[in-house]
Amino acid sequence: MPKVLLGVSASISAYKAADIISQLKKQQIDVEVIMTKNSTQIIPPLTLQVLSKEMVHTDVMYEGKPSDINHIDMVKRADLFLVAPATANIIGKMANGIADDMLSTTALAVHDIPKFIAPAMNTYMYTNPAMQRNLAQLEEDGYTIIEPKESLLACGDYGKGALADVEVIIDIIKKELIKK
């Protein structure tokens, strides 16, 4: 069975990770989850653990078995890497090689599998030149950007920045895994 390594960062749309996992599992795709510390304040890791039937990883310093190097071994088990939702913070870290939490450290280890990132943030943040440079850098580094949609955002603004529809994300991931 193919396996997706799903990174979840602290966007208000982090709750949609539960639906992403559920939809992937219905397609017979295993999911292993990494959450940033702040994302655990939006959706409990236990929710994603129950849905994925896998441990949810949050701490780069925790190694379940002494023989494991968790952030490396997860990548070796994965057929595809997806960060959804991806905040401005995690995008900036990944684009600049910063590895200071489990998700950003693991992202640096991803090398020979397809890599996708689905931004989710306020329109002003998304259109900021620094954000656009970071996204361009990630594309240059081999990431496929799953474009956010234009919508009414959690802050009340209307514009581009909402996480792509779960169905769109699932369709893109399924098509990529079929290629393998």
In eight-state DSSP terms, residue 20 is: H
- pLDDT score for 70: 86
pLDDT grade for 38, boundaries at 50, 70 and 90: very high
Tokens 């991931």 found at: 173
Whichever domain contains 28, its CATH number is 3.40.50.1950
Q: Is residue 155 flagged as an active site residue?
A: yes
Pairing of the two strands 158-162 and 149-152: antiparallel
Tell me how many domains the chain contains: 1
- pLDDT score for 169: 98
Residue 134 has pLDDT above 80, yes or no: yes
The residue range of the domain holding 74 is 3-179
Half-sphere exposure of 175 (CA within 13 A, CB side): 8
- The active-site residue out of 46, 136, 152, 155 is 155
pTM of the model: 0.96
Residue 85 has pLDDT above 90, yes or no: yes
- pLDDT score for 111: 93
- pLDDT score for 17: 98
